[in-house]
Structures are given as C-alpha cells and as structure tokens.
Amino acid sequence: MGTRDQLVESTRELLWERGYVGTSPKAIQRRAGAGQGSMYHHFAGKKDLALAAVRRTAEELLAAADAQLRSPGTAVERITAYLRREREVLRGCPIGRLTQDPDIVADPVLRAPVDETFAHLRARLAEVLGEGRDAGELPATLDPTALAATIVAVLQGGYVLARAADSPEPFDQAVSGVLALLAAH
C-alpha cells in the first residue's frame, strides 16, 4: 500500500474508533507510519483526509448493501438478507457514528458524504419496497419512502442499543421486530 492509501486507511480506522473530534493529525501519522511532511504532501489537512476516508467507507457500505438488495428473491427476502447479514454490531456503523460528531455535522462539506450515503441507501431500499408493493407482497397503502427510512433507522438505532448494552442482543431484537411486522402482512 502506498503512503497515500496508508494515510486514508489509518484515518478510516481512527474515525471509526475515536471519531473526528477524537482524532488528531499526529495520531493519523503515527498509525500510518508517515511523517508530517508526507501527510501534508498528499492532503491539505485532517479535514481533507477525513473526506477521502469517509468517501471510501461510504462506497464500501453501499456496495455491501447492493450485494443483498440486488440479489434474487422477493422484496422481503432481500431486505431480510440485508438486515441479517453478518455485521460487527458492537463497533457500530462507521458512517452513522459520524452524525454524533459535532465538527462533522456543523461542516456542510464533511456532512455531505454522510448525508449522501443515507439518501442513497434509503432510495435503494424504497425501490425494493416499491417492487414488493407492486408484486402484492406488501400492502398497497404502505409508503415505500417512509418504510425505507424506518428500516435504515432500525439498523442505526440497533447499533446504538447494542453499544449501550455491550451486547448484539438488542440489535438482533430490533431487526426481528421490524421483520415480524413486515412478514405479518
């Protein structure tokens, strides 16, 4: 891995572990094994590095979601596969956790990739839910856009509950609850 990539990877790890406020340029350099001169050769600063890191994480997250949501099967099967896929629940979501970072939400440039990731994910889920509705799997009265927000919220809130409990159990329960509601139709 080149120095530039090593810097981005180290920033991704530190953002996930410590958040933006808790990550210093010095900590990034230390983790990447890169000097200050090398960091400022590749990036204008911590913000520029964070943007590259968040964009790469967002791409991976959306590709992983597409793997389940674009697979064969009914809408409910695909959403079940997406919600039930293996996750590092106690680490939380590398994108969702950034919304608790005051310096990220206060900065439109840093917030943009976080916002776009969730908007993209919600649109993809709404598409699948719309297909399920058109196929008669889900009631015609359900609003795919609202329900897509509910499903992403269950995941993000499930991470919050799991980290509070130091156990993946409430995450699994939250997912079971929404799937039971979907299946009951």
Please report, as ranges, the residues that interact with a second copy according to CB under 8 A: 17-19, 21-22, 92, 95-97, 99-102, 105, 111, 114-115, 117-119, 122, 139, 141-143, 145-161, 163-166, 170-171, 173-178, 180-182, 184-185
Q: Which lies closer to a second copy via its Cβ, residue 35 or residue 109?
A: 109
Rounded to 10 degrees, the C-alpha dihedral 134/138/144/149 comes to -150
Q: How far is the CB of 35 from a second copy (least distance, A)?
A: 26
Q: How far is the CB of 74 from a second copy (least distance, A)?
A: 17
How many of the other CB atoms lie within 10 Å of CB of 117?
23
Q: How far is the CB of 24 from a second copy (least distance, A)?
A: 12
Phi-psi region of 27 (alpha: psi -120 to 50; beta: other; left: phi over 0): alpha
Q: Which lies closer to a second copy via its Cβ, residue 60 or residue 143?
A: 143
Q: Which lies closer to a second copy via its Cβ, residue 35 or residue 181?
A: 181
Q: What's the start-to-end Cα distance of the chain, in Å?
A: 50
Q: Which lies closer to a second copy via its Cβ, residue 136 or residue 139?
A: 139
Q: Which lies closer to a second copy via its Cβ, residue 40 or residue 123?
A: 123
Residues 94, 16 contacting (CB under 8 angstroms) = yes
Q: How far apart are CA 163 and CA 58, in angstroms?
A: 21
Q: How far is the CB of 171 from a second copy (least distance, A)?
A: 8
Q: Which lies closer to a second copy via its Cβ, residue 18 or residue 26?
A: 18
Q: How far is the CB of 36 from a second copy (least distance, A)?
A: 23
CA angle 44, 48, 51 (to 5 degrees): 170
Q: How far apart are CA 7 and CA 140, in angstroms?
A: 49
How many of the other CB atoms lie within 10 Å of CB of 88?
11
Q: How far is the CB of 85 from a second copy (least distance, A)?
A: 17
Encoded tokens for 156: 């993000």
